[in-house]
Amino acid sequence: MIGRLNHVAIAVPDLEAATAQYRDTLGAIVNPPQDEPDHGVTVVFIELPNTKIELLHPLGEGSPIAGFLEKNPSGGIHHICYEVEDILSARDRLQSSGARVLGTGEPRIGAHGKPVLFLHPKDFTGTLVELEQV
Ligand code: CO
């Protein structure tokens, strides 16, 4: 059911420093920061030949990233995103196998303008999983 790895998201306490590290030290292609107020994050997309890295930084009150950074002050991998062809059929299949979909269970429009869902990390070996319809 899942296809390509779309991205790995890393929560970072200092977006500028992390961006500079990927650009200057690791020599990656980095894009300008993008505010995603609906998701409470500022995102920097880093383009790799086979996938993307997303640097996440809290934006506004009640950002889901703020609590993560409190527990992981130097940052850390926040979630991984797999591509699916049909997000609703993927959701139904997962729910019928007992997996928990976060939020209302309805897909939201993610940072790339495509429908996304998040799956409970406790159901997936401690990893927050995002599904994105491509
Ligand atoms: Co993501």
C-alpha 117 to ligand 1 mean position (Å): 9
Would the pLDDT of 112 be above 90?
no
- pLDDT over 90 at 39, yes or no: no
Is residue 14 a contact partner of residue 20, using CB atoms and an 8 Å limit? no
Give the number of domains in the chain.
Answer: 1
Cα 98 to ligand 1 centre (Å):
22
In CATH, what number is assigned to the domain containing residue 36?
3.10.180.10
Residue 91 token pair: 């959701």
Alpha-carbon Rg of the chain, whole angstroms?
15
Residues spanned by the domain of 117: 5-133
Higher pLDDT, 38 or 129: 129
pLDDT tens column, 45-88: 999 999 999 999 999 988 989 999 999 999 999 999 999 999 99
DSSP for 47-91, please give it.
E-SS-EEEEEEE-STT-HHHHHHHHSTT-EEEEEEEEES-HHHHH
List active site positions. 130
Q: Which residues share a beta bridge with 117?
A: 131
| Alpha carbon of 56 to ligand 1 centroid (Å) | 9
CA-to-CA distance for 30 and 27, rounded, in angstroms? 9
